[in-house]
Structure 1
Amino acid sequence: MKFADGFWLNQRGYEVNYANQAFEIEEIENGFLVVATPFVVYNRAMMLGSANLEIAYTSTQENCVKVSITHHKGHVDNGPHFVLEDKGFKPQVTVTDKEAVLVTGDTKLVVSKENWSFTYYYKDKKLTSGGWRSTGVIFENAYKQQARLQTQLDDTFWSYPADPTRTYIREQFDTSVGEYFYGFGEKFTTFTKNGQNVEIWNADGGTCSDQSYKSIPFYLSSKGYGVFVNSTDKVSYEVCSDTVSKVSMTVPGESLEYYVFGGANLTDVLKGYTDLTGKPSLPPAFSFGLWLTTSFTTTYDEETITSFIDGMAERDIPLQVFHFDCFWMKGFEWCNFEWDKSQFPDPPAMLKRLHENKGLKTCVWINPYVGQRSKLFDEGMKNGYFIKKTDGSVFQCDEWQPGMAIVDFTNPEACKWYAGYLRKLCEMGVDTFKTDFGERIPTRDVVYYDGSDPIKMHNFYTYLYNECVFNVLKEYFGENKACLFARSATAGGQKFPVHWGGDCSGNYNSMAEVVRGCLSLCISGFGYTSHDMAGFEATATPDIYKRWAAFGMFSSHSRLHGNQSYRVPWLFDEESCDVLRFFTKLKGKLMPYLWAQAIKTHEVGVPVMRAMVIDFADDPTCLTLDRQYMFGDNILVAPILNDEGIAEYYVPEGKWTDIITGKVLEGGKWYKHKCSYFEIPALAKPNSIIAYGNFERQIEYDYLEGTTFTIYELEDGKSAVCPIYDTEANKVFELTATRHGNKIECEYTDTKASFKIAVANTDKTVEIAPNFSGKVIIEL
């Protein structure tokens, strides 16, 4: 929220009181408390009538500093609140007459009493700081409030009312020359957020606007730190925009709480953030295969979906999941969780055939809304399971289903009721759910069962919604066997994967938007991501379909889905079938590698699909790259985003090997060349091992038996490690390769499996028989 009018003045109607003196500092549990005054106090008379701030600096997690700024502590906070994990860490605290110091791990905060400033360090490297005109309480006067009234009247009932309070708390950080900022959730705007105003407010805005389905009040800096605002309210950021050398963050109300994470690199920072807000859950291995859907408004029945599935099998395109979109239920009756018997006369038998005869998992579309024509509407209304208006009646609108109500997930009984219908679908044979919507949540004149603030619930609603559905799957199928296909999210939503990117269009601009959105979401603590391959809106050309198929299969999760037209490849051209088959099988072969990366994501918090800056922050060129990414630790991918088939991408230092063409590229420079439809730059990092499995049709298979471990450009004196996990996420094998001159020494854990070890760009391949000694020397 912008309060400044240039550098010296404030916007008309705002009074800004900045913390100007650390009048008093006292040690408290796990930290210290600063009483900050808006001016330097020279005499007792100045102690009257000032807008003081009480600022608590504490730590209960290593390398994480918690800052709580309070103006009036007597205000009511009805929540909701993010679910955070207290690690019980104890920092070192020193308070003197001149300064206060808090040390947590290798991260240090110094607050100066003499000149009111705060500075964060990691191992003596300065991260960021603030001081004069940084921390403040802001009042909105009656003139400004009155001027906003008409705007409020014009807002829709799920829009955020303009300036609902008259008090705001703002914090501001200094930036460094050449510093870049990333994150804030799934953002389709420019990947580096410098120069942008970012609002943390979920909205159904497609992929071509500044709105977001997934808004996360967390950002990272290229300097190696992150900041998370612990507020479910509408947090506003000015990223080098209001003041071009500062990052500002503002929340309405009387308090602001945020966390600063230090780390040796951005992976460490993401680990710290997900230690606090929750690690990405591990999706089941089957979910990494190819998903196919009915599309949205197309005509379909059991015969149609059977023809799609058989068509994929006839063309030898491995399929893992079939998704039934909205019209598996009758129109006007969403959601009633009942199959439309006119289209699907015997759902249990159909689902059984898909499981047993086709080898498929199944997914059905749901949302948290109940239309008035649904059989569940009267039941939900009678029992108080819906969000209510302030007069006690059910909140209803016609914006999706006529007369629809919205399930109130703050009511435990409503959660049980909703979950009960989902459990019946699981018992019938449904394996997972696409949890659509969750962004269009009203904020005006509504009441929640638990008394939550409707404005703060707007973003947080999706957490409760997805948690309820995810828990059904986890309870029914077991740990690490649950996954969703979710659209909306907030902080902590990474615990309920997988998330896809919403409504994109079938063109190259939209494909680039999706790449940015995926990278932005994944640098915000989310581990896995997907998108509608070939676009949701419109029908892509065969050219775009083939290029998007390559990008889609080099995403953690891969789904073909559209709106008014089907996405089966033979409706585009026969070559589309060949291209989709090629990349689907390549992803299947990469599953030993990809599954190990997914487990690392679950354990550490670093995403599978990650921006180049996460791994290469020391390379200035990588700081702004948003048209390529790392696919796990060891593969660089650069989607082709033009109809000329031109790949344009940057390669960091070292010798990288294209795993499709076998070409070796010297790093430290840009490349530009034309690719066939069966190519996408997919480069193996030097000093790495990539495992290629013995994939046939099922994405869940033995990831060790028959696998080829390919060693890429291992340098003298360097080692590479490649772990293998079974589909239950148990580590069953590990290969370590170390180069000594012209010899590569390979050591591995004992196993009864047979496999191969190959050295890329040579003819050196060693076949390992079962029970063979756990050590091999390869002469180069």
Structure 2
Amino acid sequence: MKFTDGFWLMRDGVEASYATEVRDVRAGVDSFTAYAAVKRVERRGDTLNSPLLTTDCFSPAEGVIGVRTTHLAGKRRTGPDFALTAPDASAARVRRDGDVVELTSGALSVRLDTAEPWTLSFRDGEGREVTSAGRKGTAFFTDGDGAHHMAGQLTLGVGEQVYGLGERFTPFVKNGQVVDMWQADGGTSSDQAYKNVPFSLHLSPAGAYGVFVNHPGRVSYEIGSESVGQMQFSVEDQSLEYYVVAGPTPKDVLRRYTALTGRPALPPAWSFGLWLTTSFTTQYDEATVTSFVDGMAERDIPLSVFHFDCFWMREYQWSDFTWDPDVFPDPVGMLARLKERGLRISAWINPYIAQKSALFEEAAASGYLVRTAGGDIWQWDLWQAGMGLVDFTNPEACAWFQGKLKVLLDQGVDCFKTDFGERIPTDVVWHDGSEPERMHNYYTHLYNQVVFELLEKERAIGEAVLFARSATAGGQQFPVHWGGDCFSSFGAMAESLRGGLSLSLSGFGFWSHDIGGFEGTPDTAVFKRWLAFGLLSSHSRLHGSSSYRVPWEFGDEAVDVARKFTKLKHRLMPYLYGAAAEAHAAGVPLMRPMLLEFPADPTARALDRQYMLGPDVLVAPVFSADGDVEFYLPEGTWTHLLTGEQVQGPAWRRETHGFDSLPLYVRPGAVLPFGADEQRPDGDWTEDLTLLVAPGAHDVTVTVPDHHGRQAAAYRVTRDADGGVLTVSASDGAPAPTLKEL
């Protein structure tokens, strides 16, 4: 939100109050509180009739410094609030030296000179300034309508670029953009987002740091837009709290941020295989489903998960969690027959209860639906006729909702697609008294948490997985998330990737998208190119709106492409699941923007049409029918995984690929564990294992995980003194692998 009119003036009706002069500091052992006047105080009378801003500086965890600025402290806090953890005991210490007070936590400190105009200076372990809140960096504003906004403003260094803020489909580098944290069901082609996360990752020639605004409601960002050398964030509230997260690398920032807001759970290995759905508004019954499954088997396209989209339930009755008896007279038998074929089952749900459903009356009578201030049940006709909204702030409503889903689990459903959760009203009253504006974004967190916790309780350890559309900070704990409703075009394919890369820099470890696009029907070229991209993503799902997405609908070549890349992904599983385990343990995503692996390479910082799949495989999807693709290889000798071609970087490359290929390069010096099982993603990855050795690899240790992400085997690959002969040693009990030089 903009408050100023250019550099000199304020917008009409806006009054600004900036922290100007430090009047007092109270320092403890590991925190301090500063009191700032909003004008110069030259005489005693200047302290009258004037605000005083209170700023608390503290550290919730090593390398993280929190700043909380409050104007009027008497506002009643009703929540919700992000659930933050402090995994490490804070090593923060406060030091006073004359006029200077400094709080240090690990490799990050914040410094305030009480004799100078107000400035909070954040510094790294070498004493270099990372960013600062200077002359206009700590403030509140009132507008012509009387609204009160707290604002923070941090300097952007020369060459500093800003990323993240959730799954955003606008340009990858956020400098120059205005971004509002407000959940919306807006597709993938606008500035609206399904997943709004008030966390930004910053990278400059001096290093990386992060900024997390600890407010679940609408946070309005001006990123080098209102003031080109500043990132401003504001909330309509009396208090603003934010955290500066230390680097020095982007990976370090993500490790610290996800330690604070939650690490992604490790999805089960079977979820990394190919998902096939009925699509949304298409006609289907058990015969249709069986024909799809038979068709995949007949064409030797391995299938891991079958998903039933909305119309498994009766029309006008979503979500009542009851199979349409006219279409599925024997759901238990049908699911058993599908599971006998080795498939897992996913079912679509959402948190809305249509008025026609018997569950509406049941939930209404028990007080499980959100109500208006007048006591009526909040309803509208958008999406489902007369639908109400389950109130997940009510523990009894949560248990009731889980009970309905447990019936489906007992029938044979394995996981849920938790759709929707964005269009949450603000003119309602919540059971726990939560503030409606703060609950708008946070609702999705409660929704996905309720479903995920049921799966964790009812399924074997490590078997819980969702396919979720909406999220906010902390939602990464409940994977997997997909990119929402995109069109069936090359442009939509590129914008989907852009959104996924932004989400990955917001703490989310796993991400997917609808192969071929959701809206409309893709032409054969779009579908085939999207297949390769989708099967080289964290999770892979064939899904559409009004048309089927079975590969043979798009020709024989599409079948060949689907088969080839599904089997390739299965063989990559020893490598991919190791990267997934890293996402779970350290918060480093499976699909990685180039800057995560190559932060010192200036060219890598803006790349949004390619990515690293794990640490060692570069993927550049093809966004054209003719196969023309331009991409960048960092320094070293890169080897194409499919052809063995070697290319020396750093270099921009322009290549032309058939539909069965794309730029897929192995990093210099890498050793890639490559499995033998093409038919399933969750086989024995150590059996007949091949280690693919890239140029430059010497004395490399490779681990292969088990299905819980723990080490199943370890291998050390070395070369002789002349750099020629390769040898490998295995951990105790590990089967001997085959070595293959790329």
Q: What is the CA distance between 1:39 and its match in structure 2? A: 1.8
The question of 1:643 aligning with 2:630 is answered no
Aligned to 1:162: none
State whether residues 686 and 734 of structure 2, in contact with CA within 8 Å, keep that contact through their aligned partners in structure 1: no
Aligned to 1:136: 139
Q: What is the CA distance between 1:309 and its match in structure 2? A: 0.5
Q: CA RMSD in A?
A: 1.1
Structure 1 residues 646 and 402: CA distance shift in structure 2, 3 A: same
State the secondary structure of the residue aligned to 2:589: coil
CA distance in 1: counterparts of 2:734 and 2:182, whole angstroms: 53
The question of 1:578 aligning with 2:560 is answered yes
Aligned to 2:400: 417
CA distance in 2: counterparts of 1:14 and 1:479, whole angstroms: 55
List gaps (5 residues or longer) in structure 2: none
Aligned to 2:121: 119
After superposition, residues 589-608 of structure 1 pair within 5 angstroms as 589-608=571-590
State the secondary structure of the residue aligned to 1:668: strand
CA distance in 2: counterparts of 1:458 and 1:283, whole angstroms: 27
Aligned to 2:153: 172
The question of 1:230 aligning with 2:231 is answered no
The question of 1:613 aligning with 2:595 is answered yes
State whether residues 688 and 721 of structure 1, in contact with CA within 8 Å, keep that contact through their aligned partners in structure 2: no
CA distance in 1: counterparts of 2:556 and 2:484, whole angstroms: 28
CA distance in 1: counterparts of 2:544 and 2:150, whole angstroms: 43
State the secondary structure of the residue aligned to 1:571: helix
Matching residue's letter, 2:525? D
The question of 1:403 aligning with 2:399 is answered no
Q: Deviations over 1:478-514 (max 9, x none)?
A: 3321000000001000000000000001100000000
Aligned to 1:94: 95
CA distance in 2: counterparts of 1:487 and 1:511, whole angstroms: 17
After superposition, residues 34-433 of structure 1 pair within 5 angstroms as 34-87=34-87, 88-115=89-116, 116-124=118-126, 125-140=128-143, 144-145=144-145, 166-223=147-204, 224-356=208-340, 358-433=341-416
CA distance in 2: counterparts of 1:131 and 1:661, whole angstroms: 54
CA distance in 1: counterparts of 2:489 and 2:275, whole angstroms: 21
The question of 1:673 aligning with 2:655 is answered yes
Aligned to 2:485: 503
Q: What is the CA distance between 1:29 and its match in structure 2? A: 5.1
Q: Deviations over 1:24-52 (max 9, x none)?
A: 12213521111111122222111112221
Structure 1 residues 646 and 540: CA distance shift in structure 2, 3 A: same
Q: Once structures 1 and 2 are overlaid, which stretch shifts more, 361-370 or 96-105?
A: 96-105
Q: What is the CA distance between 1:96 and its match in structure 2? A: 2.9
The question of 1:734 aligning with 2:714 is answered yes
Aligned to 1:158: none
The alignment of Structure 1 onto Structure 2 pairs a total of residues equal to 734
Q: Deviations over 1:257-284 (max 9, x none)?
A: 0111011200000000000000001111
Matching residue's letter, 1:423? K
Structure 1 residues 587 and 42: CA distance shift in structure 2, 3 A: same
Aligned to 1:765: none
CA distance in 1: counterparts of 2:628 and 2:123, whole angstroms: 43
Q: What is the CA distance between 1:752 and its match in structure 2? A: 4.7
Q: Deviations over 1:128-167 (max 9, x none)?
A: 1121111101112xxx21xxxxxxxxxxxxxxxxxxx621
CA distance in 1: counterparts of 2:461 and 2:513, whole angstroms: 25
Q: Deviations over 1:290-332 (max 9, x none)?
A: 0000000000000001000000000000000000000000110
State whether residues 60 and 90 of structure 1, in contact with CA within 8 Å, keep that contact through their aligned partners in structure 2: no
Q: What is the CA distance between 1:745 and its match in structure 2? A: 4.7
Matching residue's letter, 1:207? T
Matching residue's letter, 1:705? E
State whether residues 30 and 60 of structure 1, in contact with CA within 8 Å, keep that contact through their aligned partners in structure 2: no
CA distance in 2: counterparts of 1:734 and 1:196, whole angstroms: 46
CA distance in 1: counterparts of 2:620 and 2:101, whole angstroms: 47
Q: What is the CA distance between 1:714 and its match in structure 2? A: 2.0
State the secondary structure of the residue aligned to 1:746: strand
Aligned to 2:701: 721
Q: What is the CA distance between 1:250 and its match in structure 2? A: 0.3
Match of 2:462 among 465, 469, 480: 480
State the secondary structure of the residue aligned to 2:121: strand
State the secondary structure of the residue aligned to 1:657: strand
Q: What is the CA distance between 1:72 and its match in structure 2? A: 0.8
Match of 1:690 among 652, 672, 677: 672
CA distance in 2: counterparts of 1:132 and 1:682, whole angstroms: 49
State the secondary structure of the residue aligned to 1:575: helix
Q: What is the CA distance between 1:118 and its match in structure 2? A: 1.8
Structure 1 residues 549 and 381: CA distance shift in structure 2, 3 A: same
CA distance in 2: counterparts of 1:128 and 1:579, whole angstroms: 48
Q: What is the CA distance between 1:375 and its match in structure 2? A: 1.3
Structure 1 residues 217 and 252: CA distance shift in structure 2, 3 A: same
State the secondary structure of the residue aligned to 1:388: coil
Matching residue's letter, 1:217? P
Aligned to 2:540: 558
Matching residue's letter, 1:139? T
State the secondary structure of the residue aligned to 1:750: coil
CA distance in 1: counterparts of 2:11 and 2:730, whole angstroms: 66
CA distance in 1: counterparts of 2:717 and 2:102, whole angstroms: 45
Matching residue's letter, 1:117? T
CA distance in 2: counterparts of 1:209 and 1:279, whole angstroms: 29
Structure 1 residues 570 and 77: CA distance shift in structure 2, 3 A: same
CA distance in 1: counterparts of 2:24 and 2:674, whole angstroms: 62
The question of 1:523 aligning with 2:525 is answered no
Q: What is the CA distance between 1:647 and its match in structure 2? A: 1.6
Aligned to 2:531: 549
CA distance in 1: counterparts of 2:670 and 2:314, whole angstroms: 52
State the secondary structure of the residue aligned to 2:635: coil
- % identity of equivalent residues: 46
Q: What is the CA distance between 1:617 and its match in structure 2? A: 1.3
Matching residue's letter, 1:385? Y
CA distance in 2: counterparts of 1:684 and 1:698, whole angstroms: 23
Q: Once structures 1 and 2 are overlaid, which stretch shifts more, 44-53 or 737-746?
A: 737-746
Structure 1 residues 695 and 196: CA distance shift in structure 2, 3 A: same
Q: Deviations over 1:595-625 (max 9, x none)?
A: 1100000000010001111111111101111
Q: Deviations over 1:403-431 (max 9, x none)?
A: 00000000000000000011111011000
CA distance in 2: counterparts of 1:59 and 1:572, whole angstroms: 56
Matching residue's letter, 1:376? L
